[in-house]
């Protein structure tokens, strides 16, 4: 399957600070991708580069088969909902739909109006009078009705209460199933990613730490507990992500594509949050010593 996003050595610098550095990434098309990482990791920078709102300081990025925002047709392939779910406070819901129809060559007016009716939004209501959840749904409606190949969402539910967040994510999944588009979703809530996404990218300290199919990552990561041991003595096929020790015991989080047969280890499964946190808390020098593990495109 082709890649909806391909980055090679992608970097972005603001004055003296690297917001994104040496990013190598391929995201397969047709997937719902969760982008997670701590604040300041470079998530928004990567999404803004993908949307064409920023240009790289170094390296290259290709989205939907071409450079981001290069011409009208390329712009039409990507929908973008920014972190503050931007809408125009003085414009009505109907004005937003008219605005979207005029600007987007593949605009699906029937989809936009059907979503507004289903959500119970008053077309005459000004966006500034809508609730936070309603504004987020309006912004999502504009992104979906554009009929993009890739819909980019930057922390779209960060400011919503749990009920509004769940409704937004359910609507997103229904739209993905109906319109068969790729989605790249940034979130600091691993629970939302696990419910919604089938592929994940972990970004820490401006670098990609791991990227892959969520089911594959869950199957290949394990917690090992056993007598105290130096991780350097482990077989080559066991890649240690994190290690902790007591006087008598060693606990490791490892990635391996083969079964662990050593009877001295107790092997336990890991949840997605455990895996994400392990990559997020790796020592800085460990994360910079090796290239991130990238899954083969499916």
User: To which residue do tokens 């712009």 refer?
Assistant: 75
pLDDT value at position 207?
87
Give the range of the structural domain holding residue 279, as residue numbers without chain letter: 215-294
* Residues 108 and 174 grouped into a single domain: yes
pLDDT value at position 267?
94
pLDDT value at position 146?
94
* Residues 209 and 220 grouped into a single domain: no
Contact 31, 212 (CB under 8 A): no
- Per-residue pLDDT, averaged over 7-36, amounts to 93
DSSP state of 258: S
**Backbone φ, ψ for residue 3 (5° rounding):** -90, 135
* Residues 116 and 127 grouped into a single domain: yes
pLDDT of residue 52 exceeding 60, the answer is: yes
- The tens digit of pLDDT for each residue in 206-241 reads 889 999 999 999 999 999 999 999 988 888 889 999
* Residues 196 and 271 grouped into a single domain: no
pLDDT of residue 290 exceeding 50, the answer is: no
Q: How far apart are the C-alpha atoms of 158 and 188, rounded to whole Å?
A: 8
- Per-residue pLDDT, averaged over 248-258, amounts to 93
Q: Domain tally for the chain?
A: 2
Task: Residue 25: count other Cβ atoms within 10 Å of its Cβ.
Answer: 19
pLDDT of residue 101 exceeding 80, the answer is: yes
* Residues 158 and 268 grouped into a single domain: no
- Strand pairing category for 17-28 and 150-154: unpaired
Q: How far apart are the C-alpha atoms of 204 and 20, rounded to whole Å?
A: 9
- Cα dihedral: 204, 208, 213, 214 (round 10): -10
pLDDT value at position 165?
84
Q: Final residue of a domain: which of 213, 239, 266?
A: 213
Task: Residue 50: count other Cβ atoms within 10 Å of its Cβ.
Answer: 26
Alpha helices in 148-231 (DSSP H): 162-179, 190-196, 214-220
* Residues 153 and 235 grouped into a single domain: no
Task: Residue 258: count other Cβ atoms within 10 Å of its Cβ.
Answer: 9
- Least confident among 158-162, 192-196, 259-263, 293-297: 293-297
* Residues 22 and 144 grouped into a single domain: yes
* Residues 134 and 62 grouped into a single domain: yes
- The tens digit of pLDDT for each residue in 150-184 reads 999 998 877 778 888 888 888 888 888 888 899 99
- The tens digit of pLDDT for each residue in 65-87 reads 999 988 888 999 999 998 777 79
DSSP reduced 3-state for 38: coil
Write the burial class of residue 85 (CB in 10 Å: 0-12 exposed, 13-18 middle, 19+ buried).
buried
Contact 202, 280 (CB under 8 A): yes
Contact 37, 23 (CB under 8 A): no
* Residues 180 and 162 grouped into a single domain: yes
* Residues 247 and 142 grouped into a single domain: no
Q: Final residue of a domain: which of 213, 236, 254?
A: 213
pLDDT value at position 112?
94
Q: Final residue of a domain: which of 213, 243, 258?
A: 213
- CATH number where 52 lies: 3.40.50.300
pLDDT value at position 224?
95
Q: Which two tokens stand for residue 260?
A: 């662990």
* Residues 251 and 115 grouped into a single domain: no
CB burial string 56-83: b at 16+ within 10 A, e below: beebebbbbeeebbeeeebbbbbbbbbe
Distances in Å between the alpha carbon of 98 and those of 104, 108, 112, 133? 10, 11, 10, 21
Q: How far apart are the C-alpha atoms of 40 and 240, rounded to whole Å?
A: 25
Who's near 256: CB < 8 A, 6+ residues apart?
Answer: 220, 222, 237, 238, 239
User: To which residue do tokens 């890991």 refer?
Assistant: 270
* Residues 114 and 197 grouped into a single domain: yes
Query: Mean of the per-residue pLDDT values for the chain?
Result: 89
Query: Which pLDDT band, with edges at 50, 70 and 90, does 284 fall under?
Result: low
pLDDT value at position 283?
64
Q: In terms of Cα–Cα distance, which of 1, 4, 35 is closest to 201? A: 35
Radius of gyration of the chain (CA): 21
Who's near 291: CB < 8 A, 6+ residues apart?
Answer: 24
Contact 100, 107 (CB under 8 A): yes
Considering only the C-alpha atoms of the chain, give the largest distance between any 2 of them, rounded to a whole number of Å. 69
């Amino acid at each position: 399957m082709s890649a909806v996003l391909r980055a090679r050595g992608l970097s972005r610098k603001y004055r003296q600070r690297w917001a994104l550095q040496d990013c190598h990434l391929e995201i397969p098309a047709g997937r719902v991708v969760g982008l997670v990482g701590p604040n300041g990791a470079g998530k928004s920078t990567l999404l803004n580069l993908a949307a064409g709102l920023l240009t790289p300081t170094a390296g290259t990025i290709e989205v939907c088969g071409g450079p981001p925002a290069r011409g009208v047709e390329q712009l039409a392939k990507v929908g973008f909902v920014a972190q503050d779910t931007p809408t125009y406070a003085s414009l009505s819901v109907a004005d937003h739909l008219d605005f979207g129809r005029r600007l987007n060559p593949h605009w699906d007016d029937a989809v936009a109006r059907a979503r507004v009716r289903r959500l119970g939004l008053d077309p005459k209501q000004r966006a500034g009078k809508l609730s936070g959840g309603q504004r987020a749904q309006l912004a999502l409606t504009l992104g979906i009705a554009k009929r993009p190949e890739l819909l980019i969402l930057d922390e779209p539910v960060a400011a919503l209460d749990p009920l509004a967040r769940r409704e937004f994510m359910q609507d997103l999944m229904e739209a993905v199933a109906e319109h068969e588009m790729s989605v790249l979703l940034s979130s600091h809530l691993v629970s939302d990613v696990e419910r919604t996404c089938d592929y994940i990218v972990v970004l820490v300290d401006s670098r990609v730490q791991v990227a892959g199919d969520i089911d594959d990552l869950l199957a290949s990561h394990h917690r090992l507990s056993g007598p105290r041991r130096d991780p350097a003595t482990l077989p080559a096929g066991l890649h240690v992500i994190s290690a902790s020790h007591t006087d008598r015991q060693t606990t490791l989080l490892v990635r391996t594509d083969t079964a662990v047969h050593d009877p001295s280890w107790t092997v336990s499964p890991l949840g997605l949050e455990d895996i994400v946190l392990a990559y997020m808390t790796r020592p800085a020098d460990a994360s910079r010593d090796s290239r991130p593990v990238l899954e083969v495109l499916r």
